[in-house]
Chains A and B, each alone.
Chain A
Amino acid sequence: MTGRSEPILRLTGISKTYPGVKALQNVDFVVRAGEVHALTGENGSGKSTLAKVMSGMIQPDAGQIFVDGREQTISSPAAAIALGIVIISQELTLAPPLTVAENIFLGRLPRNRFGLVDWPQLERDAEAALDRLGVHVSPRARVSDLSVELRQEIEIARALSSNARVLILDEATSSLSEAATARLLNLVRKERDAGMAVVMITHRMPEIYSAASVATVLRDGQFVATVALSETDEQKLVRLMVGREIQDFYGKRSIAAGETIIEIDKLATPQGILSPTTVSVRRGEILGVAGLVGSGKAEFGLALGGAISATGTVRVAGRQVELGDPRKSIRAGIGFVPDDRKASALLLVRSILENFSLAWLDRIGSRGGMLNLRGEQADVDAAIRTYRVATGSSSPAISTLSGGNQQKVILGRTFVRRPDVLVLSEPTRGIDVGAKSEIYRMLQDAAEAGAAVIVISSELPELLGIADRIAVFFEGSLEKIFDRASADEEAIAHVAVAGANRHHENSPHIGASA
């Protein structure tokens, strides 16, 4: 059912055990030239561990690896690259102070006959590598000046210019906007047609179906199946991943909206990324916020959370919120969850308990600043149950939890305070299907309990699945608000990419755009 061509890379019986965890058990995996192979499964299924085995970052405890039919030991990333296996992961590995060209040819800069760097040659080679991808950036530009998306493309240019034959993309799209993802997927198809074998590690269904022809599913470190995607629909693939049917993924309930609880009037950031934005949200309502990277949607959330300074007025339950200070936003009843878990939400080296109670210090502390440790423990134990965090105890470091469970802690500590308004930026980024569904349930529970929920997301299907209205940002301004009934993916994407057409009928929901 897979392609006819000879496998470039064949792994058989791969096992890897960490103390207490069987990360991989007897996994088989075959990659052929000219094929895009999706490697998928929930977080913790072992797909990234398998990628690390293929790219020489870790050594399997058992199993064999064949490259072009010959058995190989891939003892280091350098050995993998020598075999033509290149991995591009979420974490970028560029050197920001260097130029684009230097980064592409890092470690293999062309030399002239004096043994010095041949700069003109370097520039020509870099230009060629960038042209191949259709990336428009000067080889002399400094990487530190470039956007995350451009950096990722440069990373790919580097991979491709090294005579890669197997390209492994480990969640490479998770930090990209939809447009950049589309460009990346185009590129993947082009390379596939040129005979490259591509392994795409992702659990994003649209990407799997738009680029891959074959998918291998792992679950709990075990091989589940390799299937041809032409014969396997999304429902079936998800079932293979989670081992059960997810009945109603979003679980959208109809919740009667109550009074208007938050009124946002001409909210803007001084640096001008966010133009004055006006919108209101009612109790029980879920407002989705869509837009590309740089559209201002992220700043909209940050401004509401008090994380950045902002102008305009925000009223919660009629009372004006002082902007630019997280403490003031919290006291006003706004619960904000930022998009970057690692950078701005998690205390990675601290316990699950301390991560929970980070948001409750004022509640568990007495007037004299003494902590009520017993009460804290009881509160945390209750929250772990309420938000279904999969852990036996609250004492291990939060870094031992999966991304989905970490996110449940972050959302839970905010939800437990029952803020009137929840502002959640990318609440399901990088977490697996099962945990996503549970988080959608959490959001609706909060809405049902009377909160106004603002969900900022780069994933349109998710917004369409849970939001009552979807506000679309473009170049810093709120261009258009779609009602659930009238919203469809294409129309929203069009506004996000090109802005609302001003000649069309102006919906009464349209926010002011300066």
Chain B
Amino acid sequence: MTAPSIAKTDSHGRYAGAPSLLGRVLQNRYTGALVSLLLVAAFLALTQPVFLTWPNLMNIVKSNTVVFVLALGATYVVIAGGIDLSVASATAASAMIFGLLLAAGLATPVAVAAAVLFGAFLGAINGFLISYLKISFFVVTLGALSMFQSFALIINDGVSVSVFSAPGFAPVNAFVNGNVGPVPVILIFNIVLLLVAGGVLRYTTFGRSLYAIGANMEAARLNGIDVKRVMFFVFVIAGLAAGLGSVVQVGRLTSASAEIDPTLLMTVLAAVLIGGTAFTGGEGGVFGTMIGVLFLGVIQNGLTLSGVSSFWQGMVSGGILIFAVWLGGMRQLLRRRRQSTGS
């Protein structure tokens, strides 16, 4: 046992989920990623004059929004102890639906709703197979990775759909590239999404259930949590995120393509991991994921600014991923060692 005296005790007896911002930053698992982010940013600010300009920073936000949206969904899945390998494929499939509907002249809200719901539908397929047919999430989403990608190719014979001249594209463009004063709309969108995703995790029974299931699925089940239902909806949320992501992607590219950025899935999962959400489940949060996304985004931006060939970016971000997770593992090991006293 460990004497209670070593336990990190908040003097108000508040629980770990709600202490002051400073306390949270100091004791949280993503502190490492945050410090690294600040160090890299400081280095870039000193060496690359362009880095700390508003347009460049907003460029980082814009070019990482798709990753961020998908990573929020992935964070939910990983907290619940699962993984969704199909998110990038689901994004491509939803993007094709969105592009075709826009190009066919549908009103923007209808096309957006259809794309988002289609993503959710793809997630629901995953969720159904995993929760109710009890097939391993790894197998299901690995299969879905291929199938959704295939679907994206089949639906328009592999041909990209340009939406630039579609009548419904203007609002999409305003959403992705527009500003409110100096502030890009997409930044506001990201912040709202972060608050909603974080709020659901902290303030709802659904969020609490995710942590419980990820920490110990059997304990959650025996204490009356409807594990099947929650897991089903977790994958629906991941699909919903893919649908939302597809809208942003199509808006940025001005076309819908069945081609999937081969690094997208890896980047999404890396951001979640770097952000301190453990793949063992039951721990983590979306604030960490935001740091993970920013970290990878800033590194990529720095490499571009420094004129490093984009061929090297995979080396760097892959290396950072392994290093960050190793660092997290070391921290956990130290913590566990401190706790494993007595009998």
A residues touching B (Cβ–Cβ < 8 Å)?
16, 18-21, 23, 41, 43-49, 201, 221, 305, 307, 326-327, 330-331, 336, 338, 343-351, 353-354, 357-359, 361-362, 364-365, 369-371, 373, 377, 380-381, 390-396, 399-405, 413
Asked whether any CB of chain A lies closer than 8 Å to the CB of B218, the reply is: yes
**Which residue from B2, B7, B211 sits with its C-beta under 8 Å from A393?**
B7
Chain A residues near B134 (CB-CB < 8 A): none
Whose C-beta in chain A lies nearest to the C-beta of B200?
A: A369
23 contacts between A and B (CB under 8 A): A20-B6, A43-B342, A49-B342, A331-B224, A345-B219, A346-B219, A347-B212, A348-B215, A350-B211, A353-B15, A354-B208, A357-B208, A358-B212, A365-B205, A371-B202, A371-B207, A371-B208, A373-B15, A391-B4, A395-B8, A395-B9, A395-B19, A396-B8
Beta-carbon contact of A326 and B204 below 8 Å: no
In the assembled complex, the Cα of A23 lies from the Cα of B338 at a distance in Å of 11
Beta-carbon contact of A343 and B215 below 8 Å: no
Chain A residues near B1 (CB-CB < 8 A): 43-44, 401-405
Chain B residues near A377 (CB-CB < 8 A): 13-15
Beta-carbon contact of B219 and A344 below 8 Å: yes
In the assembled complex, the Cα of A20 lies from the Cα of B5 at a distance in Å of 7
| Chain B 191-235 interface residues, beta-carbon cutoff 8 Å to A | 202-209, 211-212, 215-216, 218-226
Beta-carbon contact of A336 and B211 below 8 Å: no
Beta-carbon contact of B4 and A18 below 8 Å: no
Chain A residues near B202 (CB-CB < 8 A): 371
In the assembled complex, the Cα of A331 lies from the Cα of B337 at a distance in Å of 40
Asked whether any CB of chain A lies closer than 8 Å to the CB of B16, the reply is: yes
**Which residue from A331, A345, A395, A405 sits with its C-beta under 8 Å from B222?**
A345
Q: A21-B5, A396-B9 given as contacts; is B224 within 8 A of A361 (CB)?
A: yes
Beta-carbon contact of B204 and A370 below 8 Å: yes
Give chain A nearest CB distance to B132 CB in angstroms: 14
Given contacts A326-B224, A354-B211, A371-B203, list 7 more A-B pairs with CB under 8 A.
A21-B3, A43-B1, A347-B212, A348-B215, A351-B17, A392-B7, A400-B339
**Which residue from A23, A327, A351, A401 sits with its C-beta under 8 Å from B226?**
A327
Give chain A nearest CB distance to B343 CB in angstroms: 3
Asked whether any CB of chain A lies closer than 8 Å to the CB of B283, the reply is: yes
Asked whether any CB of chain A lies closer than 8 Å to the CB of B261, the reply is: no
In the assembled complex, the Cα of A359 lies from the Cα of B2 at a distance in Å of 25
In the assembled complex, the Cα of A47 lies from the Cα of B1 at a distance in Å of 11
Beta-carbon contact of A371 and B204 below 8 Å: yes
Q: A350-B211, A395-B10 given as contacts; is B204 within 8 A of A344 (CB)?
A: no
Chain B residues near A330 (CB-CB < 8 A): 223-224
In the assembled complex, the Cα of A151 lies from the Cα of B212 at a distance in Å of 31
Whose C-beta in chain A lies nearest to the C-beta of B10?
A: A395
**Which residue from A18, A349, A380, A403 sits with its C-beta under 8 Å from B338?**
A18
Chain A residues near B207 (CB-CB < 8 A): 371
Beta-carbon contact of A399 and B339 below 8 Å: yes
Chain B residues near A371 (CB-CB < 8 A): 202-205, 207-208
Chain A residues near B16 (CB-CB < 8 A): 351, 353, 395-396
Chain A residues near B343 (CB-CB < 8 A): 41, 43-49, 201
**Which residue from B206, B224, B282 sits with its C-beta under 8 Å from A369?**
B206
List 8 A-B pairs, minimum CB-CB distance, nearest first. Answer: A402-B1, A20-B6, A48-B343, A44-B1, A396-B7, A347-B215, A365-B205, A344-B218
Chain A residues near B10 (CB-CB < 8 A): 393, 395
Beta-carbon contact of B204 and A369 below 8 Å: yes
Q: A365-B205, A381-B13 given as contacts; is B2 within 8 A of A347 (CB)?
A: no
In the assembled complex, the Cα of A47 lies from the Cα of B13 at a distance in Å of 31
Give chain A nearest CB distance to B27 CB in angstroms: 10
Beta-carbon contact of A46 and B6 below 8 Å: no
Count of A-B contacts with CB under 8 A? 178
Q: How many residues of B contact A (CB 8 A)?
A: 46
Give chain A nearest CB distance to B282 CB in angstroms: 5
Asked whether any CB of chain A lies closer than 8 Å to the CB of B18, the reply is: yes
Asked whether any CB of chain A lies closer than 8 Å to the CB of B341, the reply is: yes
In the assembled complex, the Cα of A391 lies from the Cα of B8 at a distance in Å of 11
Whose C-beta in chain A lies nearest to the C-beta of B206?
A: A369
**Which residue from B15, B206, B216 sits with its C-beta under 8 Å from A351?**
B15
Chain B residues near A364 (CB-CB < 8 A): 205
Beta-carbon contact of A358 and B342 below 8 Å: no
**Which residue from A23, A358, A361 sits with its C-beta under 8 Å from B341?**
A23
In the assembled complex, the Cα of A326 lies from the Cα of B222 at a distance in Å of 5
In the assembled complex, the Cα of A20 lies from the Cα of B339 at a distance in Å of 10
Give chain B nearest CB distance to A395 CB in angstroms: 4
| Chain B 290-343 interface residues, beta-carbon cutoff 8 Å to A | 337-339, 341-343
Give chain A nearest CB distance to B232 CB in angstroms: 15
Chain B residues near A16 (CB-CB < 8 A): 341
Beta-carbon contact of B342 and A45 below 8 Å: yes
Give chain B nearest CB distance to A346 CB in angstroms: 6
Chain A residues near B216 (CB-CB < 8 A): 343-348
Beta-carbon contact of A347 and B211 below 8 Å: yes
In the assembled complex, the Cα of A217 lies from the Cα of B4 at a distance in Å of 22
Q: A369-B205, A391-B4 given as contacts; is B341 within 8 A of A21 (CB)?
A: yes
**Which residue from B2, B14, B15, B204 sits with its C-beta under 8 Å from A21?**
B2
Residue among A47, A48, A393 facing the most chain B CB atoms (10 A cut-off): A393
Whose C-beta in chain A lies nearest to the C-beta of B220?
A: A358
Beta-carbon contact of B208 and A361 below 8 Å: yes
Beta-carbon contact of A326 and B223 below 8 Å: yes
| Chain B 170-198 interface residues, beta-carbon cutoff 8 Å to A | none
Chain A residues near B221 (CB-CB < 8 A): 307, 326
Q: A350-B211, A402-B2 given as contacts; is B222 within 8 A of A307 (CB)?
A: yes
Give chain B nearest CB distance to A474 CB in angstroms: 27
In the assembled complex, the Cα of A110 lies from the Cα of B234 at a distance in Å of 52
In the assembled complex, the Cα of A350 lies from the Cα of B203 at a distance in Å of 16
Chain A residues near B8 (CB-CB < 8 A): 395-396
In the assembled complex, the Cα of A358 lies from the Cα of B220 at a distance in Å of 7
Beta-carbon contact of B338 and A19 below 8 Å: yes
Chain A residues near B209 (CB-CB < 8 A): 361
Beta-carbon contact of A18 and B212 below 8 Å: no
Chain A residues near B222 (CB-CB < 8 A): 305, 307, 326, 336, 338, 344-345
Whose C-beta in chain A lies nearest to the C-beta of B13?
A: A393
Give chain B nearest CB distance to A508 CB in angstroms: 34
In the assembled complex, the Cα of A221 lies from the Cα of B7 at a distance in Å of 18
